[in-house]
Amino acid sequence: MDRLKIVVKGNYNMTLAGNTGESLMDILNDYQDAGFAFPCGGNGVCGKCVIKVLEGDFDITAEDKKFFTEGQLLEGYRLACRAIVREDCVIEYRGVLEKSYDVQSGFIEISSDKKMVCADDIYGIAVDIGTTTIAISLVDIGYQKIVTTFTEINHQRRFGADVIARIQAANDGKNDELRRSIQMDLITGIVRVLKESDIYIDKLQQIVIAGNTTMGHLLLGYSCSTLGVYPFNPVDISAKTLSFGEVFGSCYEKNFSSECWGKEGEEFFNRYPQIKQVPIYFVPGISAYVGADITSGIMHCKMIEKKDVSLLIDLGTNGEMAIGNCDKLLVTSTAAGPAFEGGNISCGTGSVDGAVCDVIISDDNVKLKTINDAPVSGICGTGVIAVTAELIEHQLIDETGRLKDDYFEDGFLLGTTNRGDEVSFTQKDIREIQLAKSAVRAGIETLILRYGIEKKDISNVYIAGGFGYHIDLNKAVKIGLLPEEFIDRISAVGNSALGGAVHTLTDRGNKDLLVKICDMAEEVSLSDDKYFQEFYMEYMMFEEEV
């Protein structure tokens, strides 16, 4: 059967091949480097994979009708994830593109009494597997320093932007594809840092991996069937050491062929087959939604090594948090939704070039800052916080979150893209950020209450993750995401999960500390907590910050 020809215009001029009856999304996904994004995993609910049909015909689906006007449908607007190819066609891709992702790999060191011990010329690799991004650092263990770091988008993102979408995809029969995707990403990064540094492979002592529970399950090929349903039992989140060959063994059968890892990987692994014996240590997790990345972050912030009480908040699709000291440790997770990463926002995008990351409104003037000062492409999580705070400051939304009449129907215009598409912040977007910020704030308040402490008695507040590192803390307080009492005690610590993985390499005693953290941690369930529900309703409003 002859393959169909799909010509893509717009940001790219590409000619792709597909089969009759194949989803356009699946065809585009074969070209991952192009950056085509499907945040909802192809379920037709986010509206981000917009195409305009220039030649050819696609049926109008129920999902198309939800996102496009009658006029737009007549002009050929469709969702790529709902479009089924039946003939040669020419399309213009007008949806979200996620290339050149801004990945947070740096982390702030927390003061310690431990002294550096110079050892032999040995190295390790620290890995943070995030839902959105991946960071891989080559570490000189003897001198306790990072030699080089590789960052990349987690290409599992094509199956959905959040862990729930990944779990659903895995349970729908795509577990092997998801595993394969993360294996490929990790191998690419590991090969890159080793080749760039030109170290002898026999100097590589160990690899340490931290990531949330879902990412760990997908890498190891575990079933995700129990992660998304009550009582949310993971298969195995204990500390474990496996060989490189065991973790990536599914591809050893192909002898590291170019089909498996690409030309670069094939050359590397055929030259250094001994890498199969390198041990990989998996940082232990605490629960299904308080994973190894949080355990690693708690250790990095030295929370259980102090008498002073500290609070760690990792902001993302889930708001994971921990509070404690050397005597007591409580942890929890709240479903904040993807608003902090640009998801469910009408013009939202990830932290890519051109994403609006800060907004200042003065009179009728709107001043925007975009990532890498690139032309406007959408709005990311930090931009969502900033514009909400500015709208509150200028009384363009009231305490309930309702936009003033002038902007209620069409939203508040921020700017336009190079192709003339308007980037606006809408009434629906405000509701999304209200849901997200109230979930996080209610989680913080509940955890403090359950710990039995006053806010004034918390010595350190650590905000982890790329989103937390870049947000304007004053604006986060302005919208009620964080308590005002914390403003002089907040430290943005960056990628604390990667930091913990690095320190696991440089201090062998930290493996025992990681296990101790998991043993100490008591999880607070928010789903049935009456105080959480009360706080959630209270902090939905903007009243305190107006």
Nearest to 42 by CA among 59, 22, 58: 22
Helix (H, G, I), strand (E, B) or coil at 209: strand
Tell me the domain boundaries of the chain.
Answer: 4-93, 123-293
Residues sharing a CB contact under 8 Å with residue 142, sequence separation 6 or more, in sequence order: 117, 118, 119, 120, 121, 122
Query: What does the pLDDT profile of the chain (546 residues) look like in tens digits?
Result: 568 888 888 766 788 888 899 999 988 887 766 678 788 878 888 888 899 999 999 999 999 999 999 999 999 999 999 999 999 999 998 887 776 655 555 566 655 544 444 456 899 999 999 988 899 999 999 888 899 999 988 999 888 888 888 999 999 999 999 999 999 899 989 988 988 887 777 889 999 999 999 999 999 999 999 998 888 999 999 999 999 989 987 654 454 444 555 666 667 777 777 888 999 999 999 999 999 999 999 999 999 999 999 999 998 767 899 999 999 999 999 987 777 777 788 888 888 888 899 999 987 789 999 988 989 989 988 999 999 999 999 999 999 999 999 999 999 999 998 878 889 999 999 999 999 999 999 999 999 999 999 999 999 999 998 777 678 999 999 999 999 999 999 998 989 999 999 999 999 889 999 999 999 999 999 988 999 999 999 999 986 443
In angstroms, what CA-CA distances link 438 with 299, 395, 461, 476, 504? 27, 20, 18, 12, 34
**Angle at alpha carbon of residue 288, lines to 283 and 289, rounded to 5°:** 90
What is the rounded distance in angstroms from the CA atom of residue 126 to the CA atom of residue 387? 36
| CATH number for the domain whose boundaries are 123-293 | 3.30.420.480
Its CATH class, for the domain covering 4-93, is: alpha beta
Q: Which tokens go with 422?
A: 């308007």
| pTM score | 0.88
